[in-house]
Amino acid sequence: MLNLPAFKVAAVQAAPVFLDTQATIDKACALIQEAAGNGAKLVAFPEVFVAGYPYWNWIMTPVEGSPWFDKLCRSAIEIPGPEIHRVAQAAKQHGVHVVIGVNERSKTGIGTLYNTLVFIGPDGKLLGRHRKLIPTWAEKLTWANGDGASLRVYDTNIGKLGGLACGENTNTLARFSLLAQGELLHVASYISLPVAPPDYDMSEAIKVRAMAHSFEGKVYTVVSCSTISQEIIDAFTPTIPNAAQMLKRKNSAFSGVIGPDGRVVGEPLIDKEGIVYAEVDLGKCIQPRQMHDIVGHYNRFDIFDLRVNRRTQQSASFSDTSESPSLDYDDESSGNHSTDNLGNALK
């Protein structure tokens, strides 16, 4: 018999402690504790919450923003690593699933960053990560492209869980690739974007995209968006005197939960910092699919054929022996450092 769970979710709408990794991790752990204390089984955090978004790409020239890129690289984290381990331990301590956005630094390229979503189980184990496939617009000055290896849905005890970062929630094929894996619960992480064109309502655009995914896929979407703190504005003001004017625009952030009928569940948050809670019942994902199940009976797979390359892309592939040769002498204690001994060690 099919048993689908019902539970409470939490969508965090907050600003990081800008480019301060440890302080932001502290804040994330405190928010996990708060949300879990209020009964949440899933806590969703904004895009690159650890530890900040590159707003300088929008309000400075690339040359002016270069010192900020250096700061971002230094504050970025590796996965796995001690910073995300602390978040995982908080998830385990409070028994919740966590999805959190981070700036991920490449282990082999200190100037290569990814916009990454990290999925963590209630046992504190990393379920996986998703690297944003294509940075949006000015973001291309900061982040590298992700690959299809992270287009995955995780089978958890609260249902099949997937997620995408910000603009890629507009990418129909990326969204479909998750739905095709049975996704029932989708996390959409965003940042507040007050520097959008004047006629662009960011909060409404976020909501519309979430509604589209939920209505098309008959799934729940948990939207978590960051806010812009006064600290962030103050950081840019010495270089950009009108930073406050550029970064305080209203209707720039939306966090909330969308049901499988495409409607908002409960009350969302617009612009203000806080946590949105909503009750989710995955059983409600069934009936709407009688009308439209786009990954099942309401499609024509004899006509449409989507192929997804999930091979990990690497900068180099090395063919090597199983063990690296030792460069030590055969017998250092003997004091015999002959060429023959060194030669034998390299064989």
Q: Is the pLDDT score of 330 beyond 90?
A: no
Strand pairing category for 40-44 and 97-105: parallel
- Distances in whole angstroms, Cα of residue 231 to Cα of each of 7, 93, 228, 314, 323: 35, 30, 8, 37, 50
Note the pLDDT of residue 24: 98
Confidence of residue 318 (pLDDT cuts 50, 70, 90): confident
Q: State the catalytic residue, choosing from 29, 41, 47, 168.
A: 47
Q: What is the mean pLDDT of the chain?
A: 94
Confidence of residue 322 (pLDDT cuts 50, 70, 90): confident
> What are the residues whose beta carbons fall under 8 Å from the beta carbon of 282, sequence distance 6 or more?
4, 5, 6, 159, 184, 185, 220
| 218 given a catalytic annotation | no
Confidence of residue 339 (pLDDT cuts 50, 70, 90): very low
Q: Is the pLDDT score of 344 beyond 60?
A: no
Q: Which amino acid is at 267?
A: E
Note the pLDDT of residue 17: 98
Select from 50, 112, 36 the least CA-distant residue to 81: 50
| pLDDT tens per residue, range 138-150 | 999 999 999 999 9
3-state secondary structure of 207: helix
Please provide residue 191's backbone torsions phi and psi, each rounded to the nearest 5 degrees. -120, 155
Confidence of residue 287 (pLDDT cuts 50, 70, 90): very high
Q: Is the pLDDT score of 321 beyond 80?
A: no
Q: Is the pLDDT score of 205 beyond 60?
A: yes
Q: Is the pLDDT score of 340 beyond 60?
A: no
- Ranking 187-191, 205-209, 252-256, 339-343 by mean pLDDT, the lowest is 339-343
CA-to-CA distance for 13 and 200, rounded, in angstroms?
20
Q: State the catalytic residue, choosing from 41, 132, 207, 218.
A: 132
Confidence of residue 315 (pLDDT cuts 50, 70, 90): confident
Note the pLDDT of residue 331: 56
| 166 given a catalytic annotation | yes
pLDDT, mean of residues 196-200: 90
For 36, the token pair is 């879990």
Per the CB < 8 A criterion, the answer to whether 121 and 90 are in contact is no
Query: Which run of H or E residues covers position 258?
Result: strand 254-258
pLDDT, mean of residues 115-127: 98
Q: State the catalytic residue, choosing from 83, 139, 160, 166.
A: 166
Strand pairing category for 154-156 and 220-225: unpaired
pLDDT, mean of residues 219-238: 98
| pLDDT tens per residue, range 31-86 | 999 999 999 999 999 999 999 999 999 999 999 999 999 999 999 999 999 999 99
Per the CB < 8 A criterion, the answer to whether 45 and 28 are in contact is yes
Instruction: Kindly report the number of other CB atoms within 10 A of residue 325's CB atom.
Output: 9
For 247, the token pair is 């970064």
Q: Is the pLDDT score of 223 beyond 80?
A: yes
pLDDT, mean of residues 302-310: 97
> What are the residues whose beta carbons fall under 8 Å from the beta carbon of 247, sequence distance 6 or more?
55, 59, 194, 195, 228, 232, 233, 236
Q: Which amino acid is at 342?
A: L
User: Which is it for the CA torsion 94, 100, 102, 105, positive or negative?
Assistant: positive
Q: Which amino acid is at 117?
A: L
CA-to-CA distance for 122 and 41, rounded, in angstroms?
8
Q: Is the pLDDT score of 266 beyond 90?
A: yes
> What are the residues whose beta carbons fall under 8 Å from the beta carbon of 235, sequence distance 6 or more?
18, 19
pLDDT, mean of residues 78-101: 98
Q: Is the pLDDT score of 345 beyond 60?
A: no
| 34 given a catalytic annotation | no
Per the CB < 8 A criterion, the answer to whether 206 and 190 are in contact is yes
CA 35 to chain centre: 19
